[in-house]
Chains A and B, each alone.
Chain A
Amino acid sequence: MAAESTPALAGSPAHAADGPAAAGPSARGPRAGNTVAYLRYVAGKLVGAAVSLLAVLVTGFFLFRLIPGDPVKFMTGGRQVSAEQLAAYRREFGLDLPLWQQFTDYCGKALTGDLGTSYQFNTPVIDKIGEALPNTLLLTGTAFVLYSVIGVALGTRAAWRSGGAGDRFHTGLALTLFSVPSFWLGLMLIIVFSVGMGPIPGLFPTGGMESGNAHGFGHVIDVVHHLVLPVITLVAVQYGETLLVTRSAVLDEMGSDYLTTARAKGLRDDLVRRRHAVPNAMLPTMTLIFVNLGRVVAGTVLVETVFSWPGLGGLFYEALSVPDLPLVQGLFLVFSAAVILMNTLADLIYPLLDPRVGR
């Protein structure tokens, strides 16, 4: 099922990443003379990212060693086992080695893409992550595209007519939804639209990703049907941040002379906004969008838990309660690496969008 949903979602996050990257070559043109400076800037950012990744590797190992509870006890499931069997388990998972040796083993393996074996499922961690990743990307990727578009569109309009009824309504609504806990909104949506309340029948499934008996096109419809409520939840609690950042960025540009010039040469109000104000105001919004893009991989522990979505966030929470150390470590590594990579990507793209950055 995971394989089937991959092509559908591969488009969405990749698309979003393509947007600013595609703008690169045209912006690079006039700056060809500064290539060396740009390359030095890139090298600095890449080294920084590498250091951050190493720090994550170290933290991931030591932080989760502190979790109380003996994993071997969990693996035996409370059965009566002999001391020899316990020792065999420890040997199998390398838990009998001294801590520093466990650490060097872990680092060496992690660099080759081997994240160990899950205690809980007894399968390689990397397989487990590979299984859940497409599901998470489908859910958070869809939500990411929707809330970014909605946030930017509403934010620019709110700023353009700032102080008006529309601005007050949208800013107020965004602030309110921003203050609502996502898990609560999810539960309320389940009660109203899945369980059914009063005259409203149960319109949507209560959780999971598929009903399991449909094939082909019917399967796609089924997954989309399961996707509706979690996506609405995510979009509702997330779009406010994008809206507010975009709004204040556009407001910063509002009094600028070049907007007066654009109006003076007879451009329609709509064009002044779209062609002149918005592109200049996009930098702070781009920062936020890249941060959010990094978070897409981490999914959302809460929404995935509430809707029993088989993604990485739900998996992380499940693994923590065991504690399934290799799985927790692996997920932590993947989550953090995604954010670091996206931030680095953003750093590399800024100078191409705005020549003032990175000088």
Chain B
Amino acid sequence: MTTDTTTTAPPDPAPSAPRSPRALAWQRRRRSVARFWRQYRTHRTGVVGLAALVLFALVALTAPLTIGSDVQSVTEAPGRPMEGPSGQFWFGTDQYGRDLLRLVLWGSRVSLTVGLLAAVLSVAIGALVGITAGHFRGWYATVIMRVTDWFLVMPTLVLAIALATVMSRSLSTIILAIGVTTWPTTARLVRAQTLAVESRPYIERARALGGGHAHIMSRHVLPNVMPLVLAQTTLGISNAILSEATLAFLGLGDPTITSWGGLLQDAREAGAVSSGHWWYLVPPGLAIAAVALAFTLCGRAVESVLNPKLGVAR
């Protein structure tokens, strides 16, 4: 999301004429994004992570053109079952004779989709709960923070497994199960930040000028907690990708869609472990680890740009 900022980076040296408040606000935002990118660039691991992500995103987006959705078809499999790696099938074939390389590339679509959507859902719930709990004090905040604390002590994976079992097998179930169980950390962080923001004088000024609850929360508090929310989302995605793989591995995913966790489950069911077919297991697992690591590296770089005290290695 930050790649396109290089083109907009050089800020206008001197605005020739007074502009509308909106234009000024946009100019200010552009400048802070450019500043963010300049600092982000100095984190070598963050840049590596970002490059890896761009690569994965390209693979996932172009998969329908380069691979074609017939890759999942069991009846039109190109090879014999359980072939080892060869010139024709670099990663070998699965128990139906499908090409594992293409299946792994195709699986990136599910992992990235679920990872992104689940993390966005989780952070959106967390931000909403956090901001409202920090803005409205009194019984509402007490009740909602009790609920948050309660979710916080629940064993997350156990709860997600339970939810995925209760609902029908589909991608949206997985997204929901992950999103609904992982928001409390964000809610706590956002609430703390909201409390800090709301104690500043300009909030009092906005209130004195007649700003309502919705105005203050969306125009004054939200922009200030946005960096935190962004960092949380990036870090949350790698968590969500791992959870998706876990749920799919336990057989709770959509059985008709190829995902990395699902491939590992297939491998285990086909007896790839006891027969020592390591080449079946290695690519999906490495792919999960690589994407999760890339998002973690980006998240840490974002976090340390916004909070330099963390001392993340560059």
8 Å CB contact of B281 from A64, A67, A167, A184: A184
Provide the residues of chain A in CB contact with B300, threshold 8 Å. 175
* B278 within 8 A of partner (CB): yes
In chain A between 176 and 225, which residues have their CB closer than 8 angstroms to a CB of chain B? Answer: 176, 178-181, 183-185, 187-188, 190-192, 195-197, 206
Provide the residues of chain B in CB contact with A185, threshold 8 Å. 285
| Contact between B273 and A187, CB atoms less than 8 A apart | yes
Provide the residues of chain B in CB contact with A305, threshold 8 Å. 250
Distance between B49 CB and nearest chain A CB, rounded to angstroms: 10
Q: Mark B108-151, 1 if CB is under 8 A from A, else 0.
A: 00000000000000000000000000000000000000100110
Q: Mark B79-110, 1 if CB is under 8 A from A, else 0.
A: 00000000000000000000000000000000
8 Å CB contact of A316 from B154, B158, B238, B275: B158
Residue tally, chain A, CB below 8 Å to B: 55
| Contact between A176 and B289, CB atoms less than 8 A apart | yes
* B296 within 8 A of partner (CB): yes
Q: Mark A295-328, 1 if CB is under 8 A from B, else 0.
A: 1001001100100000000001100110100001
Using a Cβ cutoff of 8 Å, how many contacts connect chains A and B?
127
In chain B between 250 and 301, which residues have their CB closer than 8 angstroms to a CB of chain A? Answer: 250, 261, 264, 267-268, 273-276, 278, 281-282, 284-285, 288-290, 292-293, 296-297, 300
Q: Mark B200-211, 1 if CB is under 8 A from A, else 0.
A: 000000000000
Distance between B163 CB and nearest chain A CB, rounded to angstroms: 8
User: Smallest CB-CB separation from B290: which chain A residue?
Assistant: A179
Query: CA separation between A219 and B83, bound complex, in Å?
Result: 41
Provide the residues of chain A in CB contact with B158, threshold 8 Å. 298, 301, 316, 332, 335
Distance between A294 CB and nearest chain B CB, rounded to angstroms: 8
Query: CA separation between A163 and B43, bound complex, in Å?
Result: 12
* B310 within 8 A of partner (CB): yes
Residue tally, chain B, CB below 8 Å to A: 45
* A66 within 8 A of partner (CB): yes
Contacts A162-B313, A175-B296 given: A181-B246 contact, CB under 8 Å?
yes
Provide the residues of chain B in CB contact with A294, threshold 8 Å. 153
* B309 within 8 A of partner (CB): yes
| Contact between A187 and B276, CB atoms less than 8 A apart | no
Query: CA separation between A183 and B265, bound complex, in Å?
Result: 10
Contacts A181-B288, A335-B155 given: A197-B278 contact, CB under 8 Å?
yes
| Contact between A183 and B297, CB atoms less than 8 A apart | no
Interface residues of A (CB under 8 A from B): 48, 51-52, 55-56, 63-64, 66-68, 162-163, 167-168, 171-172, 175-176, 178-181, 183-185, 187-188, 190-192, 195-197, 206, 248, 251-252, 294-295, 298, 301-302, 305, 316-317, 320-321, 323, 328, 332, 335-336, 339-340, 343
